[in-house]
Amino acid sequence: MRSGLRPGKPGRDRAARRHLAERRLRLIRSIARALSLADRGLEFLERAAIVLLFLVSVSVLILDIVLRSTVGVSFAWAPELTRYAIVWLVFIGASVGARSGAHISIDLFSEVLSERHARWLLQGAAAISVLGCVMLAYHGARLVQHMAQFNQHSPSLRWPMWAIYLAVPIGFGLMSLRFLQHLLFLSVDERRRSIAETSA
């Protein structure tokens, strides 16, 4: 008994697969462009904040030293402001380091493993880093909430301490975003390679 189904033509099937692969590649490229745009915007904000914090801390220190040496006047709040600016600078700088891959370096394994296995290892490391930073950001937010309940203020500037400790959840939150970006970039690149290989 003959079936009513007709086998598809190899040329037509190949063209359909190639068309589907091209559509997937266009989607992957659109995602990659969106990730790059978000990456550039976040990088601009981070670097602007770092430059501003650095200029504030250095300017206050120099002004305090000059006034103390010349007219004998000193700002009691200068060391405190500089210390808090450096704390914020460190946490935001850690996010910049996460973007450049300074926190994830697996060069030894990358040389031993194949290219595909090395990419998988980097994806696993990025995923673990995302989870770790999210947990630290959560506990940092709990710490900020705890400090806000006690309504403590800094000795000289009289700033609320919860605003100072806000650097912890913001810093780890930015780092988690950076590691998530890194993971997405690796996943998009892996998917692009896979589609290119199947459509070839």
The string of pLDDT tens digits covering residues 113-143 is 677 777 788 888 889 999 999 999 999 999 9
Q: Is 23 exposed, middle or buried (0-12, 13-18, 19+ CB in 10 A)?
A: exposed
Within 8 A by CB and 6+ apart from 27, the residues are none
Degrees to nearest 5, angle at CA 17 with 16 and 18: 90
pLDDT of residue 54: 94
pLDDT class of 110 with cuts at 50, 70, 90 = low
Angle between helices 10-70 and 167-199 (to 10 degrees): 150
| 160 strand-pairing partners | 153
- Res. 91: pLDDT tops 90: yes
pLDDT of residue 36: 79
Could you tell me which of 102, 109, 116 has the C-alpha nearest to residue 182? Answer: 102
pLDDT of residue 136: 96
Q: What is the pTM of this model?
A: 0.76
Domain ranges of the chain: 10-199
Cα–Cα dist 126/5, whole Å? 48
Give Cα separations from 48 to 9, 81, 83 (angstroms).
Answer: 59, 18, 19
pLDDT of residue 169: 96
Give Cα separations from 119 to 94, 105, 127, 183, 200 (angstroms).
Answer: 23, 12, 12, 10, 21
Q: Calculate mean pLDDT across residues 81-109.
A: 80
